[in-house]
Amino acid sequence: GAVVSQHPSWVICKSGTSVKIECRSLDFQATTMFWYRQFPKQSLMLMATSNEGSKATYEQGVEKDKFLINHASLTLSTLTVTSAHPEDSSFYICSAQIGGNQPQHFGDGTRLSIL
């Protein structure tokens, strides 16, 4: 149980394009979803917290106009990297949580490469 699916797993695109990443909880309803960015050999950096039906809460230093988050249902959240540039290249990981102090369950990540 507690499976989170993240799609796509790998994206390569040209500078200036927008990229959408989907995160789905397959067998549970997620009150909250989280989006992380991970640089090589580093820990996860929280970008934003997303609750179904409300605006995402972004961490300090994360541009909300650059990283658009939509959490339209209890099983789906999307992250759109708008007008992506090479410095946005990274590994993006989502997680989903039922609520309270329950564990976060993670997707397999998306490797984003901007040329």
Partner 1 sequence: AQSVTQLGSHVSVSEGALVLLRCNYSSSVPPYLFWYVQYPNQGLQLLLKYTSAATLVKGINGFEAEFKKSETSFHLTKPSAHMSDAAEYFCAVYGSSNTGKLIFGQGTTLQVKP
Closer Cβ to partner 1, 88 or 109, answer by number? 109
Q: What is the DSSP string of 21-49?
A: EEEEESSS--SEEEEEEE-TTS-EEEEEE
Asked if 62 interacts with partner 1 (CB under 8 A), we say no
Q: Which of 25, 32, 75, 77 binds partner 1 (CB under 8 A)?
A: 32
Total residue length of the chain: 115
CA distance 26 to 19: 22
- Nearest CA-CA partner of 95 in 17, 15, 18, 28: 28
Partnered with residue 84 across adjacent β-strands are none
88: helix, strand or coil: helix
Asked if 86 interacts with partner 1 (CB under 8 A), we say no
CB of 79 to partner 1, least distance (A): 14
CB of 100 to partner 1, least distance (A): 8
Asked if 34 interacts with partner 1 (CB under 8 A), we say yes
Asked if 37 interacts with partner 1 (CB under 8 A), we say no
Per CB under 8 A, residues contacting partner 1 are 2, 4, 6, 32, 34, 42-44, 46, 49, 91, 93, 95, 97, 99-101, 103-109, 111
